[in-house]
Amino acid sequence: MEATSSSSSQSSYDKYKETADWLLASTKQRPKVAIICGSGLGGLADLLSDKTAFPYKDIPHFPISTVQGHAGQLVFGKLQGRECVCMQGRFHFYEGYNMDIVTYPVRVFFLLGVETLIVTNAAGGINGSYSVGDIMLIKDHINMPGFAGQSPLCGHNDDRFGVRFPCMSDAYDRELRALAKQAAEEQGCDSFLQEGVYCMLAGPTYETIAESRLLRTLGVDAVGMSTVPEVVVARHCGLRVLGLSLITNKVVTDYDSEEKANHEEVLRTTKHRTQDIQRLVSHLITKI
């Protein structure tokens, strides 16, 4: 595991290229769409046909996922006839990886020729009108680790990936969100589809009640421990991004509540809603 708290260990372009070249030599698939599967959502990769799977440990320079609910392999294949690559398991800052390592796969995807990134995650619902099991289209994010100086773009900028100061006001592609709403309607998922603002906290602790109340005041609809760094790097590389949060628990904002957030509940809810997300993403792929 290439973990460190130092942000100076930035991966060089050559390293990313070595990984990409190894993958290009190992599969005939040339995906234009990459999907990052969040906690318990790795089942998306099971829908692929003509599959080739590469465990992370076998891929040169690739980090290893250590979290329950993350299988830890890269799966190439076809979804509805479209060539895709799926990450079954992502990397998190709380695992001890720096932001450069957390986002390593995204730059590899860019070098593979990927043009669209779909990111999924399990998140806590802050918005009082959300129910457990809702799917939230991410329309914007608040990057708390970024506020604290933890950005994957800190340090030397390599112009071969993107500009020094990338725009983030258009981070989540408007056209892709419109297509996702259309796909949800056609698949009968629109009754539990929401659209809102995702906030990333570093984790691995769940939020305190005071923190949850603060996030609600800031206009946050859902909170989690991932996604934002990958989106930042994807936009830096010029990829189009669609983000989906599965609301797996209601965030506690009341001191009298007996509710407690836990990872088992998160995995239980994802299991319950997994087929709906799979239907939604599969149908959406045909429209991109």
Buried b (16+ CB within 10 A) or exposed e, 51-86: eebbebeebebbbbbbbebbbbbbbbbbbeeebbbb
Superfamily of domain 13-285: Nucleoside phosphorylase domain (3.40.50.1580)
Query: How many residues are given for the chain?
Result: 288
pLDDT range class, residue 85, cuts 50, 70, 90 = very high
94 is annotated as an active-site residue: yes
As a whole number, mean pLDDT of residues 43-54 equals 89
157 CB-contact burial (10 Å; exposed 0-12 / middle 13-18 / buried 19+): middle
In the 8-state DSSP scheme, what is residue 11?
P
Q: Which residue in 171, 184, 225, 234 is the catalytic one?
A: 225
Is the per-residue pLDDT at 66 higher than 80? no
- Hunting for tokens 């990052």 — which residue is that? 36
**Which of 18-27, 56-65, 195-204 comes out lowest in average pLDDT?**
56-65
- The whole-model pTM stands at 0.91
Catalytic (active site) residue 70? yes
Share of the chain above pLDDT 70, in %: 93
Mean per-residue pLDDT for 157-180? 96
Q: Could you state, in order of their start, the residue ranges of all structural domains in the chain?
A: 13-285
Annotated active-site residue 20? The verdict is no
Comparing CA positions, the residue from 76, 211, 68 lying closest to residue 144 is 211
Cβ-contact 168, 153 below 8 angstroms:
no
Q: Is it the case that residue 5 has pLDDT exceeding 50?
A: no
Q: What average pLDDT is seen over the chain?
A: 90
Instruction: State percent of the chain over pLDDT 90.
Output: 68
pLDDT of residue 120: 93
Phi first, then psi: give them for residue 100, nearest 5 degrees. -65, -40
The tally of CA atoms less than 13 A away on the side-chain side of residue 113 is 10
Pick the catalytic residue from 16, 39, 121, 144.
39
Q: Is 226 a catalytic residue?
A: yes
pLDDT, residue 4, reads: 41
93-141 confidence digits (pLDDT tens): 999 999 999 999 999 999 999 999 999 999 999 999 999 999 999 999 9
Find the mean pLDDT for residues 163-175: 96
Q: Exactly one of 7, 11, 18, 94 is catalytic; which is it?
A: 94
Give Cβ neighbours of residue 201 (< 8 Å, ≥ 6 apart): 144, 145, 207, 211, 223, 224, 225
Q: Which of the following is catalytic: 226, 230, 236, 245?
A: 226
The yes-or-no verdict on residue 193 having pLDDT over 50 is: yes
pLDDT 10s digits, 248-274: 888 988 887 777 777 776 677 777 788
- Asked about 183 being catalytic, the answer comes back as no
User: Is 225 annotated as catalytic?
Assistant: yes
pLDDT band for position 70 (50/70/90)?
Answer: low
* Mean pLDDT of the 51-71 span: 84
